[in-house]
Amino acid sequence: MGLTRADTIEQLEGEWTTLEAFVRGISDADMDRPTRCEEWTVRGVTAHIVGGVLDVAGGTVGTTTGHQHVEDRPTHSPSQLADELHDGAQIAMKLLRTIDDRIWAQPSPFPGLTVRQGVEALWLESFLHEDDIRDALGMTTRSSGGLALEISIRHVAEEMAKQAWNQTTLALDGMPKVRIGPGGDSVIGGDPMRFLLAATGRIEAEDVGLDPKVNIYRR
Largest pairwise CA distance in the chain: 50
pLDDT tens digit sequence for 112-140: 999 999 999 999 999 999 999 999 999 99
pTM equals 0.93
Sign of the CA dihedral 34, 75, 142, 123? negative
Distance set, CA 174 to CA 65, 81, 177, 209 (Å): 36, 35, 9, 19
CA–CA dist 45, 61 (Å, integer): 17
Q: How many residues does the chain have?
A: 219
Domain spanning 1-125 has what CATH number?
A: 1.20.120.450
pLDDT bucket at 21, cuts 50 / 70 / 90: very high
| Residue-range domain boundaries for the chain | 1-125, 145-206+213-219
Q: How far is CA 151 from the centre of its chain?
A: 10
pLDDT tens digit sequence for 41-65: 999 999 999 999 999 999 999 899 9
CA–CA dist 168, 160 (Å, integer): 9
